[in-house]
Structure 1
Amino acid sequence: MPNPLKSLLKFKVKLKSKSKSKIRTPAEMVHRIRELLIHLNDSSSNVDHAQKWTEKMEELGKLIADIKVILYGTSETEPIPEACAQVTQEVFRENTLRLLIICLPKLDLEARKDATQVVANLQRQQVNSRLIACDYLEANIDLMDILVSGYEDHRLALHYGNMLRECIRHQSIAKYVLASHLHKFFDYVQLPDFDVSSDAAVTFKELLTRHKSTVSEFLSTNYDWFFRDFNTKLLQSPIYITRRQSIKLLREILLDRANSSIMVRYVSSIDNLKVLMNLLRETSKPIQIEAFHVFKLFAANRNKPPDITNILIVNRSKLLRFFGDFKLDKEDEQFEADKAQVVKEIAELKLREIQ
């Protein structure tokens, strides 16, 4: 049976040769990283002795890369749990995580990439069977404000976005970001930089789908403004990819069992129905298909409000004609069954008085 202590000592030797430093243990490495980051964060210390500072920056980059190797291992070696635990404890005990995040703009690109992976990995590391990252982030919740605002700087957006998604794996942290920052994502997902907007869209979806009970509570509390903005800013966006991603996300939200009460409320709104009917008229087949899967919820609602029943009847001939020609490129029995049910529901509607 391999001796973990011997493995750890061998690992130290390899890291020492890579970083060419006097650092001997993972804890000492984190301590040295902290020292260098503190100097880096003090802009006045970077002005003098340029050559010496360049050497320190190189040392910092190598140390962060070594920490990444400890946490992830290599193609030839698995991570050593004892070393990972040492790194994790020291990073949070010495507040090095905060320094890695706030100093990220001052690191070179390679160091940024490594720091991003280190911060992300630490969210999953357990110490004594506990995710101590969650406790740290709860006590330093302002770090989430920094990560979210990273989407406003294209140089940092993908790095901070990656970190943010790992942090919101913790339910309490996701709850904070939902409450404090979700409204910003209606703009972030439509930023002109495609890579940044795409990354923001991934985070937006994670926030609205990962922690089901928290999402359901958030949507119940913030129903009015959330769906108003979702309809006007996203489903009616002039940007095609935004409309396509948003209608797909809406379908996922409404069909989640945890959001059943939200779904009933959504399909009882004539304004929402009008938005969906306009999406059915899109020239894009993918948008039409996703819109259909939401539209069918309106048709299937057994307690349709009178105004919804009446608008469906007024547009009955157009809807039946549309569904008669509406087909998928590949045969899909479930789709055809759903479409037949929608047609049946619409055909059997009778006018109702609006109270």
Structure 2
Amino acid sequence: MKGLFKSKPRTPAEIVRQTRDLLVYADLHWESREAKKEEKLADLNKHIRELKCILYGNSEAEPVAEACAQLTQEFFKDNTLRLLIISLPKLNLEARKDATQVVANLQRQQVHSRLIACDYLEANKDLMDILVSGYENMDIALHYGAMLRECIRHQSIARYVLESEHVKKFFDYIQLPNFDIASDASATFKELLTRHKSTVAEFLNKNFDWFFAEYNSKLLESPNYITRRQAVKLLGDILLDRANVLVMVRYVNSKDNLRILMNLLRESSKNIQLEAFHVFKVFVANQNKPADIVNILITNRDKLLRFFSDFKPDKEDEQFDQDKAEVVREIASLEPR
């Protein structure tokens, strides 16, 4: 009779529960050297792969909405997400990649028109503390970084990270010696400062002084070319966003900020020069320029006009030509105050 009765396929909820049990086991028995531990970890890797297949489908089938909904509901019932995040360092590389994709997908899953992941994260914001600090561990930094970017798709979670002390750490993470980790931290920093317009504007207005002091000294004046290039590009994205008009006005009223941008215009890199120009033109276009800004521009007028006479991008750009012509006209017509 053997083989006549096939075992009943497990439901998505059952797979989640079994995964949770294995995660608990891994957490409790990580220090042990018993052979059973290796067997359980291998089993855990398979379960995480199964979860990924349900959420993403595979070469043979597309994901089924009902199965995804069942999996999502069960996943956020009993702290499976917390266990998965905490256990990530114990998994092998493939399982870490699968787990990262599972967490990413779950942030988008709606059940009865609700994002269950957002509700869960709002009640467990300390998980963001773990994910941000992951940049300090080379083995898991990229996985935690990818998870973090998915979690801050939720506005309330992005606000938590921005308002926490963690945001200050990004100024250092962006300059880590490991290029891949530094780039990942930079991508997360950009996401934090561009995705949720109203939250970002509120944060920048409230934290203007310390934030831009750090931004200028650690990023715009960094000895690292890539750091400077990415920072001046992001600065332009922030200041030229309509939601940040009050921030822009404060930034372009500072002679120290103007000095930094004029130094960036003198860089040997055309890319940095062009990105700096997009911010510099806002200083010039400001119709309520403080006297010290006007005086700096007048003092440097001849140098600036000589510079702009030869300054152009490698490709024809009609908008750039118009902007440059306006900047030149404005600088040429300035009178001392």
Contact 1:23–1:29 (8 Å) recurs in 2: no
Structure 1 gap segments, 5+ residues each: 1-16
Among 222, 228, 248, the residue aligned to 2:207: 222
Letter in structure 2 aligned against 1:60: L
Q: How far apart are residue 334 of structure 1 and its match?
A: 1.2
Q: How far apart are residue 23 of structure 1 and its match?
A: 6.4
Are 1:245 and 2:230 an aligned pair? yes
SS of the equivalent of 2:100 reads helix
1:238-260 deviations in whole A, cap 9, x for unaligned? 00000000000000000000001
Are 1:111 and 2:111 an aligned pair? no
Match of 1:159?
143
Distance 2:300 2:102 in 1: 56
Query: CA 1:22 to 1:184, structure 2 compared with 1: closer, same or farther past 3 Å?
Result: farther
Contact 2:26–2:40 (8 Å) recurs in 1: no
Among 9, 13, 16, the residue aligned to 1:30: 16
Contact 1:71–1:84 (8 Å) recurs in 2: yes
Q: How far apart are residue 169 of structure 1 and its match?
A: 0.4
Match of 1:57?
41
Letter in structure 2 aligned against 1:25: T
Match of 1:287?
272
Q: TM-score, normalised by structure 1?
A: 0.91
Q: How far apart are residue 325 of structure 1 and its match?
A: 1.2
Match of 2:285?
300
For the aligned residue pairs, the C-alpha RMSD in angstroms reads 1.3
Letter in structure 2 aligned against 1:315: N
Question: 1:195-206, aligned counterparts within 5 Å?
Answer: 195-206=180-191
Letter in structure 2 aligned against 1:211: H
Match of 2:54?
70
Higher mean C-alpha deviation, range 320-329 or range 296-305:
320-329
Distance 1:163 1:47 in 2: 29
Q: TM-score, normalised by structure 2?
A: 0.96
1:264-301 deviations in whole A, cap 9, x for unaligned? 11111101000000000000000000001100000000
Structure 2 gap segments, 5+ residues each: 1-5
Distance 2:43 2:303 in 1: 69
Match of 1:130?
114
Letter in structure 2 aligned against 1:42: L
Instruction: Give the percent of matched residue pairs that are identical in Structure 1 and Structure 2.
Output: 71
Are 1:321 and 2:306 an aligned pair? yes
Distance 1:329 1:25 in 2: 58
Are 1:255 and 2:236 an aligned pair? no
Distance 2:107 2:318 in 1: 43
Q: How far apart are residue 203 of structure 1 and its match?
A: 0.4
Q: Which runs of 4+ in 1 moved over 3 A?
A: none
SS of the equivalent of 2:114 reads coil
Distance 2:10 2:163 in 1: 43
Distance 1:199 1:127 in 2: 30
Letter in structure 2 aligned against 1:250: L
Among 193, 202, 211, the residue aligned to 1:208: 193
Match of 1:312?
297
Q: How far apart are residue 133 of structure 1 and its match?
A: 0.5
Contact 2:29–2:37 (8 Å) recurs in 1: no
SS of the equivalent of 2:110 reads coil
Distance 2:93 2:8 in 1: 25
Are 1:88 and 2:59 an aligned pair? no
Q: How far apart are residue 87 of structure 1 and its match?
A: 0.7
Distance 1:310 1:158 in 2: 47
Letter in structure 2 aligned against 1:343: V
Distance 2:317 2:96 in 1: 46
1:119-168 deviations in whole A, cap 9, x for unaligned? 11111011111001011001111000000000001110100001000000
Letter in structure 1 aligned against 2:215: F
